[in-house]
Structure 1
């Protein structure tokens, strides 16, 4: 049984918003730098499986800051139920959870608890989830604690139990120490002793109190004596009652003892009946054998005439011998044919599995091998697609830049135009400062532009927004591979065209006249410079519009070209018979995945051809032996039967050939054998007579009657032993009574005595109560009552502390016993796997992990033994990891959940990190492993599909 996480979907959890991770494998590496969200993702998985922390909990809840959604979903695969969805969102307590089974059935917390095998978050984090802190803390332990720690990890997998046991011991130590003075119980004992001494002093001051108290104690002693006597009588009455109930057993014991005493059949051997049956069986067998030998003599005489098969044998003897010489080769052909048929069947089953693995249907033809020319064509097509995609990407990036230029130029023009004078004002200033009739700039167009400055500014703002949205749609459409991609791209291009139209549809700006008296020569020079800038910006803007049009044409061209190349790839896949999931990258970069499949098909065809040849050889051989069919009765379609029949026929015929010469000799030998049989029969008959005489039996019937009596005697002996065992406690008491009436009379006497004791006990209790009331009256106004109350309070407080101390001591002892039991149960197998993993992690430097006197030792390659405390920090951490993984492996018969590791191996050197990766891959064959790290070194050691970049 196992539980595997296939995908993760986060609605909102800490920094993760609308995050989805799919296609998670048996081993998955989550890579990210500091604050990339690795621990958050790991906590999310814990929260979905076991619930969000409550608001009163010290654990972080990771509620998102920028989203109202809280929670997410896991898609898991479980051997018991199949593919299951687990969703947890904001709700009461630990959140609202919904579990959806493959058949559509839904459940909540109870169903989820079954899925995780009844485990809570704390247990899961202790067994299946560990980080650098859990690995490094072993270096801070002393020798005794370190060995207990390792033993706990290997047997129970949970070092938390050690913490709990140590915590209980520490709490008990705070309450009481044998020679301590500071602990609470030690101080409370001294207080109670002091108060008892004060109470004795106060008690001696009151004579009346002492007298009454003495009487009360006397009553208590008498009551106790009466109670003991009554208890003794009640126990005696219980024994007598049990004796009365079992009286029938005693009667049966007496009767059986009398029968055994009278019986005379005691000396018959235990196996006498077996001896008789064996002798009878041997005699019957010898008699039957005599009859068989006589029948054989009769049959031998009848076989003196030759049959049809014997005549055929004599005539075709040489041919039959030649056929027999080919039997071994024919058997070899049959064995080879059977072997080839089995192999061909296995190959066909493997071919069907390989087809399904390669996404081929069962009836689909296997694609032919790629030729060099096809490989070249695929590489050209791959190169063309890459080139087109590169051009398309560059054009999109250029278009984005041009849109940025359009917006920038528009803003610059908008900033310049409000400061430009109208043409009349500029010309007047020019005449005034330069005394010239010619205008340096022709500002005829500026008059109309200034008249509509606000309208132009509005149009350009709209164009900028439309152009930006169009560019984003076009980029997203060109990058998208779905059916909606082209539609989005065309929409984006249309919006960019509209933006360009709005930009180029510009009107001269109308500028408000300025007060001529305020225009200085510096203002005039500034106007000249502004007009130059304005003309330059307009020219650059027109050039950008032209470039945008050209880029759009390039995008459209490359998009169409890419579509043609994709269609061409689809045609190649269809024509070549490749699966629909085949990509151009796999055709170019990967080896032919169907090569092994084609080799298997070729091997099957070769086996089928060889089978055909073997079948033809068998048919030829069968035609050669067909002449024996009339005399050999068998299934002539079954070759093994034919071979066996011919072999038997040949052997029988050889025997028959010599029968005329051997019949007389056989008969003589048979007569001698019969004499031996008769002698043996008489010997067994004499042994039977001797057996009868040993038990003084006249015949077999008399013998069996005596054996029945002997068997009955044994059963009575066994019954007597059983009864004596059942009433062994009361067997001696039985001898005190003549009969059951005597026993009943004694029981009545004991009952009366018990009733009398009860009455006396009640009387004494009443007297004691009166004395206690008198004592209370005396205690009300005196110092003694105060001291007595204080003494009682101190005793109560002491008892509470003692109870608390006992609870801690018992809890610690129970945990230690549980760990000891677990070590005896699972630790041997765990230790074997620990040795294997530790040897792998240390690259063979350590060959054995041992337990000696409740501590763990490791043996180095040179034979030297080291205590765990003597190891270096990294080697001790590797021993911890080996123990942890060995426990997980040996706990798979109980529960199999994913392992999660948060950068636990930073102290390992590079070579041992590589060994750690190898161990993780081994463990992932049976258990899913998630490894969270910021170390880039691991990225090269896992496949691309096993890495999730955060």
Structure 2
């Protein structure tokens, strides 16, 4: 599966971004906070869903309310090319899968495309960062096997989950020393039921004594209840005596108070009648007062008179208000349009750069035809082309200048290592010295053997050696050796031809021996010196040639740049002249010319509209002045133009109100007079009725009337209470109640209460004992409790057997899963480790051969010399190489079942140059099968991938393409 395109609607800091990654390797480069992790999380969340809002992972929702989510364009060997879009929706977002044939699907299809991987499984293999490459030293073979074998296609992850579930359920069923597991609880209940059964069997012998005691308690309870009834009857008599004593005392007090109040009569409903009369009096007085006040006010208001004829003239004038309003609206519309056009005109002049009236006049009279626009646009385009050519030429000139400077710097640096004058002199002399030295060596060799009998044989030996040297030099192309052999042979021939008598040439021999002594053994040093001096001369000549070439190129580009600048200046002058003729500012580009002419046409059109609008506005204002003068003549004063008819309407309304008020006032005055007369008669009647009511209660005024009412109410309450007491005392006279003092009555009540409490206590104890005995004998008689306990025991025993069977089944399934895991470990893990070992051997440059599993099931790194190291003993970089080798081996092994991209977040920061180079070589090989995404903030790391697609995260925007570097 390969990601062809990322489209971000809104995710974190990115908005409306489209990124096209490379086919094989893509480097996302950017500084911290540039948004690399945001893109990494975007890929994972679009594929596997947005995390919960209260979860540990960030959701990257846009803060400005922009659209949330995006889509990925994917290509899969099984499903072809399709899009996965995820946007805001439920907690994980709403996902849509669109295929190339137009069909769509949802989350279920996406899970199938992802081979049932969830985010955790995907990140455990295909997506990791530097922090996830830690902890290998704590990982054993079993944990690695689970990670390697947890593949959504094989179902091993489901088996692992089932194993954990079974282990948990087994723990819930039974633990050896547990209390809460179900089997432990049932086992405890079985033991308790067994103990209860033993106790119930021992109680069966207690039945006879319990029945005898049950009969005795029944008789005692009957006897105690009879005593209790007698005491309660006596208590009732004492209670009747206590009730009679306070009743007699209260009757005496009530009788005395009734005699004090007397027998005065109060009329029925007297208070209600008086309050009604009082309310009617107050209401009538209020109406009477208000009517009198209104009559006086009405008289004051109607004293003036209105002018009906003046009102008629005003009404005629008001009939023309609509015409006035229409003219006002037309004036407002024209004025507003005039203001708008003036503002637009000034805006256009400002945009066109008209700083004075002369420039504005040029613009108004300028030629705005299409031909003039195209002519100016052609001139501006010529200026722009000349500028671009000048910039390009100037760039080339700078490059040539930089090349010249670098060549001069290299030449100066080279000249700093120039051989000394003595070395140069020695090197120049050495070729001649070398020939003379060979001659001297041959001469001294021949001279030393002339007195021996075999002198001639030695000469021939030297000739043979010289010939061999010449042949070897010719074969090796060492011409100095050939020349040396030739000279040696010639010297030997000369010596052979000379007679022994020549030994007298001692001076020649001494000279030759001195030369040999001076240079013998130093030939190699002088040869190296000659080579160094010659190499210096050749390099200096090459550098000087490079400097001359760079200077020539710079001078040629300078001349070309001057020519282009002249052309640019001439085109600019022509453009400025053309712009000045039209009144434009002299800085227009080809893109600005159409906009300038559009604004010029708009300005000229605005001038024409303003002229027409000014004439129309003058005519409207003339008609408005005519209306205003007529209104001022009618009202006799100057009027504001804005509120002209408002003033007229207010004045006419005032006159109309005066006319109407005069007629209405007359009618209201008559009505008020009648109301005042009627209310005065009503008030007199109410006062007479009130005095008659006071006379019935024998009261002189309102205060004494209410006092009489209070006495009447008190008398009624006392009479009712006295009647109640009489009835109570009459009922007690028939009972067996004797007269007794308060002290004697209290003593009898205390004695009865004590006897009653003692008997009730004894009765309660006997009743409880009787109930316990009855329950005990019934249980012993029927033996139901024993049978029930035995039934519970058998039920719990069956339940325990079922739980034991369930525990055995889970144990067997868990053991089968563990055996399956062991088999998978034996079959699949070796292939992954074999692949990982090849990767590890490659990235460590052969320093380590394999990753092996030690006796403690933890990983060991085996060095090429046979030494083994635990992962904790390796350097940080080597640890990361080991873990990366395992991760990449697992991804390669799962390629057929899970062909996903591999996403890495800065995993190489601890690698030096050699390690990084080898890791890059390995990833280049893996990129043939996997698409690789590498996120980094290190610029030097991005530069290490010449064939990768480099995406600078801080510069991405809409439709951003991957850039090949």
Into which bin does the TM-score normalised by the smaller protein fall? Answer: 0.3 to 0.5
Mark the structure with the bigger radius of gyration.
2
Q: TM-score, normalised by structure 1?
A: 0.37
Q: TM-score, normalised by structure 2?
A: 0.36
